[in-house]
Amino acid sequence: MGHVAAIGFDLFDTLVTLEPQTLHEAMERLIRSLRQSGLRVEVDEFRKAYREAATRFLERARRDGIETHNRFWIREALRGLGEDVTAEDPRIALGVDEYFSAFYANCHLVPGTLETLGTLKARYRLGLLSNLTHAPAGREIIERMGLEHFFDVILISGELGYRKPHPLVFERLTASLGVEKGELLYVGDDPEADVCGAMRAGIRPVWSTYTRDRGLRFLPAGVSGDGGPVEVSVPRISVWSDLLGLLEGQRRPRS
């Protein structure tokens, strides 16, 4: 491994985990909000329509790299149930906020994250690059978890307009950190979005398998995706001490 000047991190399933009931709670809050706004929502029908719409929009986003948003999924689901609404309807905006409010209390840091970031911040420029359709929720989670001050750069796909693995987002991370691609490591859990995406952008990936190894992976629609197997040549870490050891190895002069 050559010189490392900066390290980028994914957010979900890399720095933070989410409780398995999060999606269920989020959907309950969304449906309750839409009903309180006067929209006709039958629970089972809406759940099915929302899931189908989310799948269609996310498949398109993964093909072309252009980020989608939950408000479009809600609009399509409601239209399918006979409600003539636009994606800009304030009732939908309120529902999106209620949906993501379920994430906040259900987020937990991967053990040792704050200590590790503190150690790394003294040596490297740090960046965060996350796929999340609703950027305000991402910012809120980052702040609530006490992560914000560790990072020189925070990029969220919902603000960028593109999502990993599109090379544009990795290029933005590199440029914002002020380093060359060869000087940047990117740490993430998702084989396609994080590992393959970084490699295709000319950035060295580190595959984080903490949640995968423990059966904790959480892949809600709009947050992340998954891909095929990772090349065996890619460095793999299961706990943060693995990353520190990897970096110490590349700092240590050859004998």
Contact 190, 170 (CB under 8 A): no
Distances (CA, A) of 64 to 67, 173, 246: 9, 19, 34
Contact 130, 225 (CB under 8 A): no
| pLDDT tens, residue by residue, 168-226 | 999 999 999 999 999 999 999 999 999 999 999 999 999 999 999 988 876 644 444 45
pTM of the shown model? 0.92
130: helix, strand or coil: strand
| pLDDT tens, residue by residue, 7-38 | 999 999 999 999 999 999 999 999 999 999 99
Q: Which of 24, 67, 35 is nearest to 164 (CA)?
A: 67
Query: For the residues 44-68, what does the mean pLDDT come to?
Result: 96
Q: State the pLDDT at residue 2.
A: 75
Distances (CA, A) of 194 to 31, 89, 138, 189, 207: 32, 33, 17, 7, 8
* pLDDT higher at 230 or 45: 45
Residue 77 has pLDDT above 50, yes or no: yes
- How high is the mean pLDDT of the chain? 92
Query: For the residues 26-53, what does the mean pLDDT come to?
Result: 96
